[in-house]
Amino acid sequence: MNERGKQVVVLCSGGQDSATCLRWAANRWEQVYTIAFDYGQRHRVELEAAASLAKLVGVVEHRVLPVSALAALAGNALTGSDMVRTETNARSGLPNTFVPGRNLIFLTLAAAWAYQLGTSDLVTGVCQTDYSGYPDCRESTIAALSQTLQAGMEYPFTIHTPLMHITKAQSIELIRQEGGLELLAHTHTCYNGAVPPCGECSACILRARGFSAAGIPDPLLERLGRV
């Protein structure tokens, strides 16, 4: 850990996990850069949340990259017009919120920016524990991608995944320990882009279960006067 540079790039979607990663990174690196991706997601309010989190933590630069290709490829629930609940895609068995390769694209673009900044450390909130069927969140995928980025850009990237093997409840405990619990009041999780959150989609359900298991009220619901 002593060999790390002064700078880090954190993938910041505006959700609970990226808020935790952001606080974790800000406690360990001097200069934090955040990156978010605009791929036509319906829950665009998450981009506003990402910018708020970056400002609250005091990052050097927050960048929003347009990823029009994912919107073009989509035809899926995150960018389509149907309500998202918990159905799975009949063919793949994966959740209907799955955009194939989405995290691979995001991490590769973040790495390209990090390369330009001269930064080799990346932080992302992917999590294998309750990965909801997303194969691009697993440790084996991130390890393979790390090799690919190193080879493809000839650059010594390290992808840090502090949430990989912990539960949502442990993740909430982690951000509390890191002194960032209040950040969660400014996160966005709901797949349907609703404020207050819909409480019905799989993301809302997962979030609620996490706070319940951690025995901590959700700061977002507190801020919105919902608890």
Binding site for its own copies (CB under 8 A): 37, 65-70, 72-73, 75, 99-101, 103-105, 108-109, 111-113, 115-116, 135-136, 138, 140-141, 144-145, 147-149, 151-155
Closest separation in Å from C-beta 174 to its own copies: 25
Cβ closest to its own copies, residue 24 vs residue 39: 39
Distance (Å, rounded) from C-alpha 185 to C-alpha 187?
A: 6
Cβ closest to its own copies, residue 49 vs residue 126: 126
Distance (Å, rounded) from C-alpha 93 to C-alpha 133?
A: 8
Cβ closest to its own copies, residue 69 vs residue 83: 69
Q: Output DSSP code: residue 97.
A: T
Closest separation in Å from C-beta 168 to its own copies: 22
How many residues are recorded in the chain?
A: 227
Q: Output DSSP code: residue 182.
A: G
Distance (Å, rounded) from C-alpha 62 to C-alpha 32?
A: 9
Closest separation in Å from C-beta 107 to its own copies: 10
Cβ closest to its own copies, residue 82 vs residue 222: 82
Cβ closest to its own copies, residue 103 vs residue 187: 103
Closest separation in Å from C-beta 191 to its own copies: 20
Is 162:18 a contact under the CB 8 Å cutoff? no
Closest separation in Å from C-beta 91 to its own copies: 8
Sequence-ordered list of residues with C-beta below 8 angstroms from that of 147, at least 6 positions apart, any chain: none
Closest separation in Å from C-beta 102 to its own copies: 8
Distance (Å, rounded) from C-alpha 166 to C-alpha 86?
A: 22
Query: What per-residue string of b and e applies to 83-112 under the rule 16 or more CB within 10 Å gives b?
Result: ebbeeeeeeeeebbbbbeebbbbbbebbbe
Cβ closest to its own copies, residue 27 vs residue 92: 92
Is 43:188 a contact under the CB 8 Å cutoff? yes
Sequence-ordered list of residues with C-beta below 8 angstroms from that of 192, at least 6 positions apart, any chain: 42, 43, 83, 84, 198, 200, 201
